[in-house]
A and B are shown apart, each in its own frame.
Chain A
Amino acid sequence: MQRRSPFLIATLAFGFAFLYGPILLLILYSFNESRLVTVWGGFSTKWYAELFRDEQILDAALVSLRVGVFSATIATVLGTLSALMMVRFGRFRGRLLFTGMITAPLVMPEVITGLSLLLLFVALETAIGWPAGRGVDTITIAHTTFCMAYVTVVVRARLAGLDRSVEEAAMDLGARPLKAFLVITLPMLMPALVSGWLLGFTLSLDDLVIASFVAGPSSTTLPMVVFSSVRLGISPKINALATLLVILATVTILIAAWILWRQERERDRAVSQALAEDKGRHATGRRA
C-alpha cells in the first residue's frame, strides 16, 4: 500500500476531532455524577432520570414535536406546489426574480424573518382578530414559511431531473392530468418529499430565533428551554437531553442509509441477473 503523507493524516485527524470532539465530550459528561459540568465525578445515569422528571422540558419537547410535524407537513405540500410551478410553468417575464424570491428565506437572517412575522401577526390580529395571541399556531406558521423554501429547492431538483414523458405516457394511456400526477409523478417524487419533510422537521426542531419572536407565554419550544436554562447555569440534565437528541438523529440517519444501501444492492443484483438472462436468450435463439 502507498504511504500517505503525515500532513494529510494530521489534517484528517484534526478535522474529525474538531467536528466530533465536542459532541463526544458532551455525551461523556451526560454520564457524570458531579453537579459541575466540567469536573468528572464518576459514572452515573441520574441526570437522565432527572430529565424525565422535568415537566417543563417534556412539555417543551412535545410542543417542538407538534410544531415540527405540522410545519414540515404543510411545508412539504406548499413547497411541492411551488416547485411544480417553477419547473412546469415555462418561461415568463420576471421568472428569475420570482425563483429568487421563493428561495430567499434560505439566506434571510433569521432575526429579520422572525421580526417581520411578528409584525405581521400583530397587524393581522388587530385587523381580523386572527391569529388570537401568539402560541403554537404562530410558531407553526413561521416555521412553515422557511421550511417551504427548503422543500421547494429539494423537490425542484428532483422534478427537473424527472423524465417528463413518463407522465405523458400515463396520459397517453388514458389517465387524466390530475390522476397522472397523483399515480405516476407523486410516487416518483417520493424520495424528495421524504427528504424535504425530514429537512423541514429538523430545521423546525432546531430553530430558536424565529420561535422566540413569535412564541407566546404558553408555547415554549425545546431550544428555547435549553437556551434559557443554559443562561441560568449549565445543568448536566441538558447534556443528557442533547445526548438523546444526538442518538435519535444518528439512528434515523443510519436507518435511512441502510434502506438506501439495501435497495441499491438489490437493484444491482437484479440488473446483472437480467443481463445474464438476456444473453442466454440470445444464445439459445442463435443455436435454434
Chain B
Amino acid sequence: MIDTVVPQGPAARPEGSRPGAMQRRAEAPPIIDIQDVVKTFGDFVAVDHVSLTIREGELFALLGGSGCGKTTLLRMLAGFEQPTAGRILIGGQDMTRTAPYDRPVNMMFQSYALFPHMTVEANVAFGLRQDGRLPRARIRERVREMLDLVQLAPFAKRKPHHLSGGQRQRVALARSLAKHPKVLLLDEPLAALDKKLREETQLELVCIQERVGTTFVVVTHDQEEAMTMADRVAIMDTGRIVQVDTPHALYEYPNTRFVAEFFGTVNLFQGVLVEDEPDHVLIRSDALARPVYVGHGISAREAATVWVALRPEKIAISKQAPDTPHNWDSGIVEDIVYLGGISTFHVRMDGGALARVTMQNLERMAAPEITWDDRVYLSWRHDNIVVVTS
C-alpha cells in the first residue's frame, strides 16, 4: 500500500506473551518466500500479485473474509493449486511446480480429512509409511510420540467416526505433524469446534507450536483467533495483501480503513488535513465540532482527504466538558450495551455521527453514573489517534 501512515510516536513494540521468541524469530531466515504470485480461475482473480515472506519458527496467520483468496494461497503452498504467475520458494528452493507429495510441507484440512477406514494410529502413521525408508519400530515410536503430544494415546485403536469433534481435530494435527514438515499449513483449524472448545484449543495449538518449533501458517477468518495465536498476521482483501504485521501493530497502526475496521472495532471520521507540521497535524472533520490535533506528523499533503480512526476504548466519556481547544466533542447517549467486563456506549454526536465508546465496568461503577439520553463529552489524547489516507 502506497499511502502508509508512518507513526512517529514510540516504535511499535509487540506485546505477545513471548517477547523472547518474537525477538528470535525476527532474525530467523525466511522459510517461505512468495514472490509476486497470481492465481486466476477463468476471469476471476483469486490471488492478485501477492508477495510475502514467512520466517522459520513463526506462527503466521492469513486473515480475511470469505473469498479473499487466503485458502487459495494456502493451497498453492501445499501444491494443490498452481500459480498462474510468480514463484514460491520453500526452504530456499523453488517449489512453484512441485507436486504436493514431494513438498516438505503438510496440511491440516478444515474438514480434518481423516481416513475413515483407518484407526487413529494408522492415520498418524500414514505419512511415515509413504517413504518406505523408516523402520517399523521407528514409525511406531513416532506415532506414540505424536499421540502423546495431542493426548490421544488411549484412542490409538479407534476409528475416526468413534471420536468427538475435538478429538478428530487433534488426530488431524498429529497426523500432519508426524513427518516433521518444514511448514505446517492449517486451513481454518478451529472452525468446526464450538466456541468454548475453540478458545481452549487456540492456546493448546500455540503451546504445541512452541514445543515442536515448526513454522505454522494458519488461515482464518476470525480476527480474535489470529490475534490470540499469531506472531504476525497478513490481512487479505479481494486477493491482495493489505497489511502484514504483529497483531499489536495491526491494531494500533492500521494502514487503511479496511484494516482498522476488520481488525477490531473503530470509529472513523472523514476529514481534511488543514495544518501539516513535522511534529503535529490538524484535521478538520464535518462530523466533529472541533479540529483534531494529532501529536505526530503523517505522510500526507495539506488539503488531502484523511480519516481519523479512534478505537472505542481510547475515548474517554464524561459529563464535564474539557477545556482544551481540540480533541473533544459532545453528544447524547443513545444506547448502552452491558457486556459483563465492559460496557459500550453508543453516543449520537452533535454532528450526526454515531460513536462507540467502551468503558471498563470497574471504572464505570466508580464514575458518576451516565445513563440514557445524558449529554456527555467525548475526549481523546493526541497520541491515541490513527490517521489513514485510504
Contacts and interface: CB of A to CB of B under 8 A. Distances in A.
Contact of B162 (A171, A176, A274): A274
A172 B106 contact: yes
A187 B117 contact: yes
A281 B152 CA distance: 11
Contacts of A194: none
A275 interface: yes
Contacts of B158: 270, 274
A274 B163 contact: yes
B115 interface: yes
A166 B115 contact: yes
Interface in A252-288: 267, 270-271, 273-275, 278, 281
Interface stretch (B14-22, B123-131, B359-367): B123-131
Given A168-B109, A170-B126, A173-B106, A270 B162 contact: yes
Interface in B162-176: 162-164, 166-167, 175-176
B348 interface: no
B111 A165 contact: yes
Contact of A172 (B107, B110, B116): B107
A175 interface: yes
Interface in B151-188: 151, 155, 158-159, 161-164, 166-167, 175-176, 179
B162 A271 contact: yes
Given A165-B109, A168-B80, A188-B116, A175 B162 contact: no
Interface string A138-174: 0000000000000000000000000101101111111
B111 A173 contact: no
A209 interface: no
Contact of A171 (B100, B111, B131, B161): B100
Interface residues of B, number: 33
A184 interface: yes
A166 B113 contact: yes
B111 A163 contact: yes
B167 A173 contact: no
A180 B114 CA distance: 13
B164 A173 contact: no
Q: How large is the interface on A (under 10, 10 to 19, 20 to 34, 35 or more residues)?
A: 20 to 34
A166 B166 CA distance: 18
Nearest to B154: A277
A36 to B, nearest CB: 56
Given A168-B80, A169-B113, A187-B117, A174 B179 contact: yes
Interface string A118-129: 000000000000
A184 B160 CA distance: 14
Interface string B77-115: 011100000000000000000011100001101110111
A52 B78 CA distance: 64
A115 B140 CA distance: 61
B192 to A, nearest CB: 13
A102 to B, nearest CB: 26
A275 to B, nearest CB: 5
B106 to A, nearest CB: 6
A275 B161 CA distance: 11
A217 to B, nearest CB: 48
A244 B111 CA distance: 48
B127 A173 contact: yes
Contacts of A270: 158-159, 161-162
Contacts of B110: 165
A179 B158 CA distance: 24
A168 B151 CA distance: 26
A174 B128 CA distance: 9
Contacts of A168: 78, 80, 100, 107, 109, 113
B101 A172 contact: yes
Contacts of B175: 169, 173
A92 B161 CA distance: 36
A270 B164 CA distance: 10
A265 B245 CA distance: 51
B109 A175 contact: no
B179 A267 contact: no
Given A270-B158, A278-B167, A173 B179 contact: yes
A169 B167 CA distance: 18
Contacts of A273: 162
Contact of B164 (A163, A165, A166, A275): A275
Contacts of B107: 168-169, 172
B101 A274 contact: no
A278 B106 contact: no
Contacts of B115: 166, 169-170, 184
Residue among B80, B113, B166, B175 facing the most chain A CB atoms (10 A cut-off): B113
Contacts of B100: 168, 171-172
Contacts of A179: 130
Contacts of A278: 164, 166-167
Interface string A209-249: 00000000000000000000000000000000000000000
A282 to B, nearest CB: 8
Interface string A168-204: 1111111110010000100110000000000000000
Interface of A: 163, 165-166, 168-176, 179, 184, 187-188, 267, 270-271, 273-275, 278, 281
21 contacts: A165-B109, A166-B114, A166-B115, A168-B100, A168-B107, A168-B109, A169-B114, A171-B101, A172-B78, A172-B79, A172-B106, A172-B176, A173-B127, A173-B176, A173-B179, A174-B127, A174-B179, A175-B126, A179-B130, A278-B164, A278-B167
Q: Which 9 A-B pairs have the closest CB atoms?
A: A174-B130, A173-B127, A270-B162, A169-B113, A165-B113, A278-B164, A165-B109, A166-B113, A187-B117
Given A165-B109, A170-B126, A172-B176, 9 more contacts: A168-B80, A171-B100, A172-B107, A173-B126, A179-B130, A270-B162, A273-B162, A274-B155, A281-B151
